[in-house]
């Protein structure tokens, strides 16, 4: 049986970690795998460079008036002779597939939720990495969509840029470099953190998240306050993992109240790499059994401020703690465990 995968690389809810899981499934689950990119020709070429079997692309990731869903439906009709199982990676793709009326099995893996896009009534199975994300999906979807218990995994990176080279390209020498994680991090939260650290006399450079959704708003406010030099924009052609290894520590700012979900996999990537990490208990990663409370340990942003302020004095202890956490995270999120769990959650009609 052939599996047909759909992914929208430019969507904010499609992280590099999600792409890594797609690659894991294609490499380690039997049967044929074909990929359709919901995006541009350039993105299609990039996916082919990964060694993936990309059969084409459908331009655009917006499903206005269900145009994207109708294009997917037309593609399925033209390949009706194939016994496809349909996989969707990311919330934007899941929303489009939920509008497609087909008898084929539909399975989606969703990490981050885009609050302004709804799923519709069509039989589909969704996997998520956290209890909090699953609960949000259950609260906003309908009975015909089956939400599996959480499943987490990460694909290892084989090559990471040299730390010194990365810091030089970020324009940082001896300052404490803190990388921010989260596309929807609160601009006000970042400003308040910088103000608290400035009052404490702590010199810090903050690297904004990859694909940060509020960059213009944040930089405009920081420029008015003459604080824009304390922030480093995420550099083009960098990967998040390269910035992580250049940083001394990582902070996951809280999101605005109107944002319903947080990406869990990006946070777990930091813990996997053994980088000192500060996350408050409000984050969805806190809901992951056995390890969530170890990852999200800070009670609030004041607690994070104190941690960053005292970082240099307790660096060795913090790094050792991060390495111990990494050992546990790697056991829970191992590729083998993810693939085995993925197979166990597939409906019988979708197993090869």
Token pair listed for 204: 């810090």
Average confidence (pLDDT) over 169-198 = 93
User: What's the confidence (pLDDT) of residue 61?
Assistant: 62
What sign for the dihedral angle of Cα 334, 336, 341, 343? positive
The least confident of 27-36, 78-87, 291-300, 338-347 is 78-87
pLDDT band at 257 (very low <50, low <70, confident <90, very high): confident
User: What's the confidence (pLDDT) of residue 4?
Assistant: 93
User: What's the confidence (pLDDT) of residue 346?
Assistant: 85
User: What's the confidence (pLDDT) of residue 143?
Assistant: 75
User: What's the confidence (pLDDT) of residue 62?
Assistant: 66
User: What's the confidence (pLDDT) of residue 81?
Assistant: 61
Average confidence (pLDDT) over 306-335 = 95
Phi, psi angle pair for 3, to nearest 5°: -100, 135
User: What's the confidence (pLDDT) of residue 86?
Assistant: 93
Percent of the chain at pLDDT above 90? 60
pLDDT band at 198 (very low <50, low <70, confident <90, very high): very high
pLDDT over threshold 60, residue 352:
no
Cross-strand bridge partners of residue 348: none
Contact 265, 133 (CB under 8 A): no
Q: Is the pTM of this model over 0.85?
A: yes
* 283 CB-near residues (< 8 Å, 6+ apart): 252, 254, 262, 267, 296
For residue range 100-110, what is the model confidence (pLDDT) as tens digits? 888 889 999 99
Task: Please work out, in degrees rounded to the nearest 5, the angle formed at the alpha carbon of residue 89 by the alpha carbons of 246 and 241.
Answer: 5
Average confidence (pLDDT) over 141-153 = 85
Average confidence (pLDDT) over 210-224 = 93
User: What's the confidence (pLDDT) of residue 65?
Assistant: 59
pLDDT over threshold 60, residue 52:
yes
Task: Please work out, in degrees rounded to the nearest 5, the angle formed at the alpha carbon of residue 145 by the alpha carbons of 141 and 150.
Answer: 90
Percent of the chain at pLDDT above 70? 95
pLDDT over threshold 90, residue 254:
yes
Give the domains, in start order, of the chain with CATH numbers: 2-151 (3.40.50), 163-332 (3.40.50.2000)
pLDDT band at 63 (very low <50, low <70, confident <90, very high): low
How far apart CA 294 and CA 301 sit, in angstroms, is: 17
pLDDT over threshold 90, residue 2:
no
Phi, psi angle pair for 251, to nearest 5°: -125, 135
Higher pLDDT, 120 or 47: 47
Q: How many CA atoms lie within 13 A of 278 on its CB side?
A: 26
For residue range 265-295, what is the model confidence (pLDDT) as tens digits? 999 999 999 999 999 999 999 989 889 999 9
Candidates 160, 167, 128, 141; CA nearest to 246 is 167
How far apart CA 51 and CA 231 sit, in angstroms, is: 36
Token pair listed for 299: 């009670």
**Order of strands, edge to edge, in the sheet holding 85-89?**
54-58, 32-38, 2-7, 85-89, 106-109, 124-127, 145-147
Bridging pattern class, strands 145-147 and 176-180? unpaired
For residue range 71-128, what is the model confidence (pLDDT) as tens digits? 888 888 887 666 688 999 999 999 999 988 888 899 999 998 888 888 887 789 999 9
User: What's the confidence (pLDDT) of residue 278?
Assistant: 97
Cross-strand bridge partners of residue 316: none
DSSP 37: E
pLDDT over threshold 90, residue 64:
no
State the chain's mean pLDDT as an integer.
90
């Amino acid at each position: 049986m052939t599996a047909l995968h759909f992914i929208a690389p430019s969507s904010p809810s499609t992280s590099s970690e999600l792409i890594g899981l797609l690659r894991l499934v294609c490499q380690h689950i039997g049967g044929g795998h074909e990929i359709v990119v919901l995006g541009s020709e350039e993105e299609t070429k990039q996916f082919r460079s990964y060694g993936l079997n990309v059969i084409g692309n459908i331009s655009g990731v917006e499903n206005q008036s269900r145009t994207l869903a109708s294009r997917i439906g037309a593609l399925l009709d033209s390949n009706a002779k194939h016994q496809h199982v349909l996989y969707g990676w990311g919330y934007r793709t899941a929303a489009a597939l939920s509008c497609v009326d087909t008898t084929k099995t539909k399975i989606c893996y969703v990490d981050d939720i885009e609050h302004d896009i709804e799923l519709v009534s069509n039989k589909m199975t969704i996997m998520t990495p956290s209890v909090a994300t699953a609960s949000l999906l259950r609260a906003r979807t309908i009975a015909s969509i089956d939400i599996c218990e959480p499943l987490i995994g990460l694909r290892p990176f084989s090559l990471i840029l040299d730390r010194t080279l990365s810091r030089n390209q970020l324009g940082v020498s001896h300052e404490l470099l803190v990388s921010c994680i989260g596309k929807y991090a609160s601009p006000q939260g970042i400003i308040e953190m910088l103000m608290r650290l400035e009052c404490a006399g702590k010199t810090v450079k903050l690297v904004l998240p990859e694909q940060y959704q509020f960059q213009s708003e944040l930089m405009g406010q920081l420029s008015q306050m003459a604080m824009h030099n304390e922030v480093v924009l995420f550099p083009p052609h960098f990967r998040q993992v390269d910035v992580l290894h250049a940083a001394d520590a990582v902070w996951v700012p809280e999101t605005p109240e109107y944002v319903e979900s947080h990406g869990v996999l990006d946070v777990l990537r930091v813990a996997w790499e053994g980088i000192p990490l500060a996350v408050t208990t409000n984050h969805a990663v806190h809901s992951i059994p056995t390890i969530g409370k170890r990852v999200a340990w800070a009670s609030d942003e004041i607690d994070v401020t104190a941690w960053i302020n005292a970082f240099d004095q307790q660096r060795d202890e913090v790094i050792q703690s991060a390495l111990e956490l990494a050992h546990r995270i790697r056991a829970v999120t191992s590729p083998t465990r993810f693939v085995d769990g993925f197979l166990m959650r597939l409906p019988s009609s979708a197993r090869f």
